[in-house]
Amino acid sequence: MEIWNFPACSFFSDHHTHTIMPSLLSGRILHFPKLSATSSSESYSSKQVKFPKKISQNSATSVRPADSGSPLRKTHKLNLEVSPHRAVSAVRLMRIEFGGAFADLLNEQGKGSGDNEMGYVERTLGFRTRDLDDRDLRLVTEVVGGTIRWRRYLDHLILSLCHDERTFRSMEPLLVQILRIGFYEITKLDMPPYAVVDESVRLAKVALRPGAGNLVNGILRKLAVLKESDSLPAVEVDGDDRQQARGLATLYSHPVWMVRRWTKYFGQDTAIKLMTWNNSYPSFSLRANTGKGLTGADLVSRLKMLKVPHEPSLYLDDFVRLKTGMQNVIQAGLLKEGFCAVQDESAGLVVSIVDPQPGENIIDCCAAPGGKTLFMASRLNGQGKLFAVDINEGRLRILRETAKLHQVIDVISTIHSDLRTFSTDKVVEWDKVLLDAPCSGLGVLSKRADLRWNRRLEDMEQLKHLQDELLDSASRLVKPGGVLIYSTCSIDPEENEERIEAFLLRHPEFYIDPVNKYVPENFVTNRGFYMSNPVKHELDGAFAARLHESPDRLLSQVGHSKPYMQQFSLQAIIIRYSNH
C-alpha cells in the first residue's frame, strides 16, 4: 500500500490546514501541497532554503568546458577533506525536508548510484567530495533515516545546548542538518565523538563559513561531554495528559497529535511500543515471482548464494524476510530481472484475503504502483483478467512495464481514470473488487521515516471523506453476489473499522465476510476484519475488510428470477447512466 504524503513540517508546528487536490489521487498515500509561506511562529524548518555559495580554498579546482554559444559554466571544486557520507546525508536531508523528496525513494535511488548523489552535492553545495563506496552508501541510508526519525528529539538536544533559543532559530537550514547528523551519530550510533566533531566542523566551514564551523565545534563538544557523563538533557513526561503527550512526543520523536491519538485508541503503553517500533531499523520482505514459475525455495537459494541473511515468512510461502542485505539484492539484479519484488507480508496477506482464483475477473481500483496487482495477477495462473485503475498515467505505464518483466502482462489491463468517474461510466461488473484506499500510512512509519512529519490531524477528516467516496464508487463495480475488499496501510480505527461501519449503514446490501478463512487467526479482529499490528506481528500495520454483496440486491427491487438477474443488472446501470 502506498502512502499519501503531506507537506514537510516544522519541528514545533503541529497545526496547518491543507487542501486535497483531485489530481493527486494517483497514490494511495496522499501527497498534500507543500507549504511555501511561513509565519514568525514557525521554526527554521519551514523557511525557504538559501543554498550557500562560499567554498573553502582547500580544494582542487576543475573547470568544465562551456558549451558552444552558452555562458561560461561555474567553476566546480573537488574537496577531499570533507566526508562524502556526511555531505551526501546533509543534502539528502535538505531535499527531503524542503524539496518534497521522499526518504525511501532517495535511499532506493542512491544504492549503487554514487555519481547521482555527488551530482546533487555539487549542485547544492558547489563542490564534490571523493566518490562514495558501498560502505558510504549504507551509512548514508542509516544516517538519513535515523536523523529523520529522531528529528524532534535531536532538535530538543540542540536547543538545550545552544546559548539561547534565538541562536537555534536563526541557524541556516544546512547548519541545522549538519548538527542533526552529528547529534544522531553521537547519541544513537555511538560513533567516536572526536571523528564526528572533526568531520562536522570541516563540512560546516567548507559549505557555509568558518564561524559556522566554530559553532558546530562548540555545540558538538558540549554534547560529547554530556554523553560521556551520561547526563544528556532530560525530557519531562510528567503533568496532565497534554504535558505527558508533549513529553513523549519529544522523547520518542513523533508529532504530538499522533501520541495523543494513539494513547486515546490504544493506551499509553501501546503508543510507546508503536513509537519504539517506528524508530527501529526496518526489516523488508521479498516475494518470489511465481508468475515466472519461481518459488520461495528458489529465492532462498539465490539469497544464500549472495550471502544475504534471511528467514522465511511465518505466514506466506513465497515471502522471505530480510533485516540487512537489501543493497546486495539490488546490486545483484534480482529486482531488475523480475526474480522477486519488495513487498511487505502485511500487503501479501491482503491479497490472500482477495483470494484470486484462475478464471475470475478482478479490478484493483487504486492500483499504482502495482504491488498487489502483480501478486494477484501471478495467482491467476494466466487465466482470468485483472483490471488496474489509477488516475496517474505515468505510474500505470511503470506498472505495465513491471508486469511485462514479471511475465503477468497477459492478464492485466490498465485503465487511466479517476475511480469516482469510472464507476459511474462503466457497465461491467467484476467478481472481486479491491479498493486499496488512499490513507495516512500510519502503519508504515518504520519504513517511511519522513511520513510522521508530513501528517496533520485535520488532514484525517479529509482522508475519511475521500475514503467514503471511493468505497461508494468501488461498490458500484461489484457484481451481484461478488466481493468488495477494502484495505489500507493504516492502523487508525477511523480510517479502518469506522469507514466500514459507515459504509454498511449506507449499503445494507453488503455484509461482512469474516477473513479467518484466508489469514491466520491472530490477524482477525472480533468483527471479522484483518488487522496487522506492528507491535503484535512485527509487520507493517495494515487493515482489510472483505464484504459480500447479496445476490438478491436487484431481485428484491424488481422481482426478476435469477436467470435474468445479471442481464437486468447491466440494463439497470445503463438506464441509470442515461438518466445522468
Cα angle: 484, vertex 490, 495; to 5 degrees: 65
Residue 364 labeled ligand binder: no
**Number of C-alpha atoms within 13 angstroms, CB side, residue 72?**
4
Residue 307 labeled ligand binder: no
DSSP string, 341-352: EE--HHHHHHHH
Spell out the residues 6+ positions from residue 253 whose beta carbon is closer than 8 angstroms to its own: 149, 150, 151, 152, 153, 154, 275, 279
Residue 54 labeled ligand binder: no
Q: Which of 418, 360, 354, 406 has its CA nearest to residue 386? A: 360
Spell out the residues 6+ positions from residue 305 whose beta carbon is closer than 8 angstroms to its own: none
**Number of C-alpha atoms within 13 angstroms, CB side, residue 571?**
8
Q: How far is CA 338 from the centre of its chain?
A: 22
Active-site entry in 340, 365, 439, 489: 489
Query: In the numeric block, which cell numbers belong to residue 300?
Result: 532462498
Contact 569, 517 (CB under 8 A): no
Contact 274, 263 (CB under 8 A): no
User: Where would I find the beta strands (DSSP E) of 79-229?
Assistant: 127-128
Contact 349, 318 (CB under 8 A): no
Instruction: Reply yes or no on whether 439 is catalytic.
Output: no
Q: What is the DSSP letter of 9?
A: P
Residue 368 labeled ligand binder: yes
Query: In the numeric block, which cell numbers belong to residue 158?
Result: 540542540
Residue 366 labeled ligand binder: yes
Contact 113, 331 (CB under 8 A): no
Contact 18, 6 (CB under 8 A): yes
Residue 436 labeled ligand binder: yes
Q: Which of 195, 355, 491 has its CA nearest to residue 203? A: 195
Cα angle: 90, vertex 447, 255; to 5 degrees: 75
β-strand partners of 340 = 288
Residue carrying C-alpha cell 560546516: 204
Question: Alpha-carbon distance 20 to 463, whole Å?
Answer: 8
| CA distance readout (Å), 479 to 219, 316, 362, 379, 380 | 65, 29, 11, 21, 19
Residue 292 labeled ligand binder: no
Question: Alpha-carbon distance 513 to 528, whole Å?
Answer: 7
Q: Which residues are annotated as a binding site?
A: 366-372, 390, 418, 436
Active site residues: 489
Q: Which residues are annotated as a binding site for S-adenosyl-L-methionine?
A: 366-372, 390, 418, 436
